[in-house]
Structure 1
């Protein structure tokens, strides 16, 4: 890379490179990918860490995308096209299952609700459009986290202080979150009961882009006593079908 390339261009190239990786990478790979000397790469990464766009994993000597980078990506996803693609799928889902459905995206460590479709007599929920909740406590947030590389999840939740408690339920450490995400990844959907609101259960599944990265999650929320545990699998399968349909729409 020429020495007269603006710092802003170098920064964007680093972000673009990190976004294409399955997880955090060593500095040497970043320097090679963007054509910078090791010393220049180090100083650039330090500045990006200070602004929250890059996170450093010292034990592994690797660098990955930081929370600020996820916030930028989430802001893009909140634009109209995603909502237009998802809205008819949510409306159809609500008509079939008779429960409230949401579309949500990750915003750093939080889950942001973009759309909400309700049946004629909906359950009162805190999950309205624009509301942010801890991603680890919501079914939608965990469905998205389960589709991220494990190293990126570790970068988002590096310490116990990054976990939030609302109803004394839900994961409180990275090891607890990892086990939960592994189970939910295997079953193809996430489920939470009373983690956000006592007596309310949600199931969710993630929609993926062309590269297999999670873009948004579709969820259904209902009173826990309204649907028997044995019937929740059927509901979760229908939610997964809606998320798969959104995946196909996103991939064109």
Structure 2
């Protein structure tokens, strides 16, 4: 029984951090969770050791860590998201005659959970269950562009975090930040030949009621009007966002 209050306090801290748009100070955490400062510090330190939170010492702030993303991704990998998305993706593939897929963030990778292949289109590497580097895929870039900058920095702390498939794509955090800024300004994410030479993708994020990106929805094509396809992707992503209680842009 002695462990129950500690578990409750830990979950309270996690829930509060998940509701924030960016990492926050220990003072805000302790006030929001009604905890003593020493207790809050010990909880955060233990959670950081397990990867559920990350400390940003230069900012004196705490935010969610990679393990928290993995837990969230575990939920989205289960039936609720797939059930909601499968019919929407099938309709999108039928309407655009391009292959559609849905991916969730898993660490620095995206994990593909739904794919609807358009008739006559070539097979893709984005089969269900496949993992690819998030910073190289359109779906991953859509998710990363919707995350707070501090959380992107936590995911990509150094150059070793950037892997490559065909010698293209961002190699540093500054290059990734510039790419994500372009994505936000454009309103959708793109990649051209960085996953499979000769194929391109456009993608948009699906967000939940907290404004957190839970998935990236993409179309992959060999030829087509990128802006028209992006509009179709954004409409479908917006419909899924509303189903999850989020607000589409």
Match of 1:247 in 2: 241
Identify unmatched segments of 5+ residues in structure 2.
Answer: none
The aligned runs of 1:29-178 (5 Å cut-off) are 29-178=28-177
Query: Against the structure 1 CA distance between its residues 232 and 155, is the aligned structure 2 distance closer, same or farther, given a 3 Å change threshold?
Result: same
The C-alpha deviation readout for 1:3-60, integer Å capped at 9, x for no partner, is 9962211111110111011111112222222222222222221111110101111211
What is the deviation of 1:99? 1.4
Taking structure 2 as the reference length, the TM-score comes to 0.93
The C-alpha deviation readout for 1:67-108, integer Å capped at 9, x for no partner, is 000000111111212111111111111111111110111112
What is the deviation of 1:167? 1.2
What is the deviation of 1:193? 0.8
The answer (yes or no) to whether the contact 1:123–1:222 under 8 Å persists in 2 is: no
Instruction: Tell me whether 1:202 sits opposite 2:201 in the alignment.
Output: yes
Q: Secondary structure of the residue that 2:119 maps to in structure 1?
A: coil
What is the deviation of 1:205? 0.7
Larger deviation, residues 134-143 vs 159-168: 159-168
| Equivalent-residue separation in structure 1 for 2:208 and 2:37 (angstroms) | 33
| Equivalent-residue separation in structure 1 for 2:14 and 2:232 (angstroms) | 36
Q: Secondary structure of the residue that 1:6 maps to in structure 2?
A: helix
**Number of residues paired by the alignment?**
245
Taking structure 1 as the reference length, the TM-score comes to 0.92
Q: Secondary structure of the residue that 1:69 maps to in structure 2?
A: helix
* Cα RMSD (Å): 1.7
Query: Against the structure 1 CA distance between its residues 17 and 69, is the aligned structure 2 distance closer, same or farther, given a 3 Å change threshold?
Result: same
